[in-house]
Amino acid sequence: MTPERSVTIMQNCIEAYGACCKPICRELGMPRMAFDILMFLSDSPEHCTAKEISRHTGFKETILSVNINKLVMKGYLERRGIDGDRRKVKLVCTEKARPVIRRGRKLRDAFSAALREGMSEEEFSAFSRCLSLLDRNARQIQRTGIEMPADQEPVPNGRIGFT
């Protein structure tokens, strides 16, 4: 499978999950990013600052900040100081967020089951191990790059590009 095909498959999965989230978000009057923030914090409370949420989700800090402010104003999140560092603020889901999170988890479980349809537990386990290896390797490549083999064919006019 080519890297491009892998990316297309992952994008299809992301879009399918988004389509499944749409009815809940519409019913709650909540943007998808706000829903994702609550789900992320419920799953990873140790990554509770805006900077950490941005780093782990890929959300841009400016739009993330807007959604966090709305969640705080509507009572789904609280800001609390972090002991030992007055500059940092952690975000904590409130009691009001619990029903949203419960529904989100049910949705995620149903989505996961539908996505794995036709796959045995053994196949899914092997697939999960492969994804973990791909993730590890991708992170390594991000840090160190890859060694490219020497070009065997000369580039026309000695350069690549569009003019």
Q: Where are the domains of the chain?
A: 3-119
Selecting from 3.90.1150.10, 2.60.120.10, 3.90.1010.10, 1.10.10.10, what CATH number does the domain 3-119 have?
1.10.10.10
For the beta carbon of residue 34, count every other beta carbon within 10 angstroms.
22
pLDDT by residue for the chain (163 residues), tens only, comes to 887 888 899 899 999 999 999 999 999 999 999 999 999 999 998 888 889 999 999 899 999 999 999 999 999 999 998 777 778 889 999 999 999 999 999 999 999 999 999 999 999 999 999 989 988 988 898 898 888 777 666 656 655 555 5
Measure the CA–CA gap between 149 and 128, rounded to whole angstroms.
30
